[in-house]
Each structure stands twice: as structure tokens, then as C-alpha cells.
């Protein structure tokens, strides 16, 4: 008789590992699709007629067993996953900056000076040529700017991939590393649907706005990055949060943008200015008035832009 623990293991294996095999394999005896993987015996068994379809399977899992998450973490012998945000993809070793041993005790002064020398040489040998040093600098710049902008990890990964593609296609020649790195980050923000305006990007960068825009257009064209126009509605939640406006204002601003965009008013307009004007109009309609200066400061546009877009929107909406 099968023990309950063995039965549970078989059911767990069936759920986690046998899903694909169910759809892909059938029993040659009874044509059943209920195929069970028995991890203890290394067999594939038909659950209806009991036929052993395959035996002596290779177990790709570890030889140890763990019964909870902490035990699994302690016994695991693999490192962190590879990442595009580091020039060596995170495959080289690192020496911790803490001057402590494995037990958390402070090390002697002689050992401290030795570890200082080892850290210095570790940093030197991680990059073998000027190309790797430039890549290391560019990726660290992307990481710094992404942290300042508060964008998620996925954006940093995409920006690093775009920069690596630009480097491999020799698009860096004649341009500054900071300019291409900033343009890659701007492109990644648009790709991931987390838009940041050129003004926000230039604030955290060491490059002027004009150069960022010029470099961005060049690398997006050369790399064939298919960029769709930025939807102004993606700016609305962030701007409303900074202005401390209610959900009602946010919903009304989205409604204004949708209605006026359908009438063709969005064509050729800045999405940040368009979103700011919609928020200003919505705040007036919902009796949560904000001044044009307050909205302009948050959206980083001029008051004139807000006034012009605001007049166009209320005329299109038929509001007087």
C-alpha cells in the first residue's frame, strides 16, 4: 500500500512537473493522458492502467532534500542570477567592504591592510581593456540615474541591453558615454511604459537636454527601436500624487484626455503639457483648485503651455 507521504509527493510531482507531459504524452496501452511522474523510482506511469511508460529517468534536481525555505537557501550551492546591469554580468567574485571574518568578528590591522590591497587589485583585474572600463562606467551611470529617477529594476536591465547593442554596433564613436547611457535609459523608460520626460532625465544626468534628445533619436533609428507615442494618461497618476489630488480628479483628467484625443487635439503636442492641462481643468471641475504655477512646477512645463492646452481642451469638451 502506498504511504500517504509518498502519495503526496507523487501528486506534487504530477502538478508541478507533469503538466507538460500530460498534454504531450499518452499511454500506449489505454490511450490515457493521465501520466504520473514517480520521482522516487525515476519512472513515468499511467495512472489509469498502471503501465510503466518510461524508467531510469535522470533526476536533474539536487541530491539533498529540504523541507522549508530557509533550509533550501542554506543548502543551495548556486549564486545570484546573471544581470545585464554589470559589465561582467555579475559572474566575477567580489570582496566585501566589511573588515570582518566569517563569524562577524573584526580582523586584525595586518589583515585589514591585506584585504584593502586585495580589493584594489580585484577592481583592477575585473576589467581587461578600455572597452570594458567604458562599459563599466556607462552601466554604473545608468544605475545611478535610474536610482535617482526611482524606476524599477526591469528598466535598468532594458537600458543596459540597449547600451550594449549600441556599443556592439559602434554607435558610441564620436559621442559621449554619458549621452548614450542617458539616451538608453530614456528609451528603456518608454519601452517599459514608465515614461519620464526629457527634463526629468536631464536633471539627473550630466548631459544637456538637447544632446540627450539628439542621441536618443539617433540610437532609436539605428537600432530599430519601435517607439510608440507616449500616452499622456501615464503621467496623470504621478502628477496627481505630487499635487495631492483625489482619485476623482485623476479620473476626470483621464476622461478629458480620452475625449479630446479622439478629436485629434493630441497630435503634435507635448504629452506632459497635455496631461498637466487636463489635471488643471479636472481640478477646477472637481472643486480642488490648483494654480497653474503649481501644476507647471510638477509637470516641468511653462504656465503658457498649460493655458494654451487648457483652452483647447475646454473648447473641445464644450465647457464654458
Binding residues for Zn(2+), by number, are 27, 30, 46, 49
Q: Show binding-site residues.
A: 27, 30, 46, 49
**Cell numbers found for residue 102:** 566569517
Instruction: Return d(Cα 244, Cα 250) in angstroms, integer.
Output: 10
Report the 10 Å Cβ neighbour count for 45. 20
Amino acid at each position: 500500500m502506498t504511504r500517504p507521504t509518498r502519495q503526496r509527493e507523487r501528486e506534487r510531482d504530477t502538478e508541478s512537473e507533469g503538466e507538460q507531459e500530460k498534454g504531450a504524452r499518452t499511454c500506449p496501452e489505454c490511450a490515457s493522458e493521465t501520466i504520473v511522474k514517480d520521482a522516487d523510482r525515476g519512472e513515468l506511469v499511467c495512472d489509469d492502467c498502471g503501465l510503466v511508460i518510461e524508467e531510469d529517468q535522470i533526476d536533474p534536481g539536487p541530491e539533498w532534500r529540504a523541507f522549508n525555505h530557509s533550509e533550501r537557501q542554506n543548502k543551495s550551492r548556486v549564486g545570484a542570477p546573471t544581470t545585464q546591469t554589470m559589465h561582467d554580468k555579475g559572474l566575477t567574485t567580489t570582496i566585501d567592504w566589511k573588515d570582518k571574518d566569517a563569524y562577524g568578528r573584526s580582523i586584525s590591522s595586518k589583515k585589514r591592510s591585506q584585504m584593502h590591497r586585495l580589493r584594489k587589485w580585484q577592481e583592477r583585474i575585473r576589467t581587461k581593456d578600455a572597452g570594458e572600463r567604458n562599459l563599466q562606467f556607462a552601466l554604473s551611470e545608468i544605475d545611478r540615474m535610474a536610482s535617482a529617477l526611482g524606476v524599477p529594476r526591469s528598466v535598468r536591465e532594458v537600458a543596459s541591453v540597449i547600451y550594449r547593442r549600441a556599443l556592439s554596433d559602434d554607435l558610441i564613436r564620436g559621442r559621449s558615454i554619458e549621452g548614450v547611457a542617458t539616451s538608453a535609459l530614456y528609451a528603456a523608460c518608454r519601452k517599459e511604459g514608465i515614461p519620464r520626460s526629457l527634463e526629468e532625465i536631464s536633471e539627473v544626468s550630466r548631459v544637456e537636454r538637447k544632446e540627450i534628445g539628439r542621441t536618443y533619436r539617433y540610437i532609436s533609428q539605428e537600432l530599430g527601436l519601435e517607439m510608440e507615442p507616449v500616452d499622456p494618461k501615464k503621467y496623470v497618476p504621478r502628477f496627481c500624487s505630487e499635487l495631492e489630488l483625489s482619485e476623482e480628479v485623476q479620473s476626470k483628467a483621464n476622461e478629458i484626455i480620452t475625449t479630446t484625443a479622439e478629436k485629434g487635439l493630441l497630435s503634435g503636442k507635448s504629452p506632459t503639457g497635455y496631461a498637466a492641462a487636463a489635471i488643471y481643468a479636472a481640478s477646477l471641475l472637481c472643486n480642488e483648485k490648483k494654480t497653474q504655477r503649481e501644476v507647471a512646477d510638477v509637470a516641468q512645463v511653462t504656465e503658457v503651455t498649460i493655458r494654451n492646452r487648457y483652452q483647447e481642451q475646454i473648447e473641445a469638451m464644450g465647457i464654458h
